[in-house]
Amino acid sequence: MPVRRRPPPFAVVVALVLAVPLAARLPVANAEPVSVAAERFVELAGDVREADGFAYDVRDDGGRTMDTAQIVQAPDGNTYLAVYHSTLADGRFHAAVATSTDLRTWTRRHDFGAGTSQPSLAPNGRGGYVLAYEKDPDNHIAVRGYPGLDALLAGEADRAYDAPRTLSPCAEGTPDVTAVHGDTVELTGHYQESCGTDRQLRASLRDFTAWHVEADDRLDRAVVAWGTAGNIGDRTRVELGGEPLVLVEGQRLRDDFGSWRTYAYDPVTGRADRVTPRTHGGSTSLANPSAALVNSPDGRPALLVSLFVPREGAAKGEAGQLLYWREL
């Protein structure tokens, strides 16, 4: 084997000096989690093998993949509502809504049409629902209001707004409805910075007429600090242990679907930690995180987690949409 030569002392000093600024820019392992909520999430959802229930490659009753599924519980406490998208034979995304009583078998109730994707659903506090999704062509955020559950399942919106693109001339999308207060809808999303890399935004819509949007640079910085060189995309907000937590996806390498990772972001401190849920087969790429507090199919309070497992980095049999839940 070749002999390893000892570098001269001066070279060692130079190398150490150059390494210090680089190390200072990278996150370091910390015994303290970013927040109580992040610690609780890892405790409950850090290992799919310990879940009270799970399902890989989730599909609806028509065989459509339920990619990027986001789930809420209907007022009856027994029915789950999932919004998701699938790529169909026309080569386009179609968002849809489906219902289930066991989180494993799903009945599609309505297709929102070609060019709809990345949907997010939230109750409006008055018996109705707000749905947001990315709409193409001219990728932008579209928001729809439904007066009740029957209207949602029939796709009969009574309010509609298609947001103008203001942060990017190329694309804005992956909305997440974080809150509805009276006539105001609060959302997060992404914009394509300089028509290249996806970055984060937050927005509000008042009375389905007045739209305000701004970049969320603080969240971007927290994820970029982990060496994220690609897109920062889908995210969800959940409250655990009485504290808010944002789960967000970050792509370590641009255009590499095997490099999607999930991060837990504390909106109070502006810090993020990487979280790596362990699947049964050890899938390494996990994207489009979503989480909600629901009653489990057994009627017990639970944390429900939804993750998309890209085929790049997926273990055998695990590619597609993953749902799992852990009772509290």
Q: pLDDT, tens digit, for every residue of 287-298?
A: 999 999 999 999
What are the sequence ranges of the domains in the chain?
32-327
CA angle, residues 237, 179, 226, in degrees to nearest 5: 25
Q: DSSP assignment, residue 106? A: B
Separation of alpha carbons 145 and 151, rounded Å = 9
Say yes or no to pLDDT of 182 above 60.
Answer: yes
Separation of alpha carbons 328 and 326, rounded Å = 6
Q: DSSP assignment, residue 90? A: T
Which CATH number is 32-327 given? 2.115.10.20
198-257: per-residue pLDDT in tens?
999 999 999 999 999 999 999 999 999 999 999 999 999 999 989 999 999 999 999 999
Q: Percent of the chain beyond pLDDT 90?
A: 89
- Of 109, 239, 135, 268, the C-alpha closest to 189 is 135
Say yes or no to pLDDT of 12 above 90.
Answer: no
Say yes or no to pLDDT of 171 above 90.
Answer: yes
Say yes or no to pLDDT of 301 above 60.
Answer: yes
Say yes or no to pLDDT of 7 above 80.
Answer: no
Determine if the pTM surpasses 0.85: yes
Q: What is the pLDDT of residue 98?
A: 99
83-114: per-residue pLDDT in tens?
999 999 999 999 999 999 999 999 999 999 99
Instruction: For residue 55, list its beta bridge partners.
Output: 323
Say yes or no to pLDDT of 23 above 50.
Answer: no
28-75: per-residue pLDDT in tens?
445 577 899 999 999 999 999 999 999 999 999 999 999 999 999 999
Separation of alpha carbons 4 and 231, rounded Å = 40
Q: What is the pLDDT of residue 288?
A: 98
Say yes or no to pLDDT of 16 above 90.
Answer: no
Cβ-based burial of 209 (10 A; exposed 0-12, middle 13-18, buried ≥19):
exposed
Say yes or no to pLDDT of 302 above 70.
Answer: yes
Confidence class of residue 13 from pLDDT cuts 50, 70 and 90?
A: very low
Q: Average model confidence (pLDDT) for the chain?
A: 92
Say yes or no to pLDDT of 17 above 90.
Answer: no
Q: What is the pLDDT of residue 31?
A: 52
265-286: per-residue pLDDT in tens?
999 999 999 999 999 999 999 9
Separation of alpha carbons 219 and 236, rounded Å = 12
114-136: per-residue pLDDT in tens?
999 999 999 999 999 999 999 99
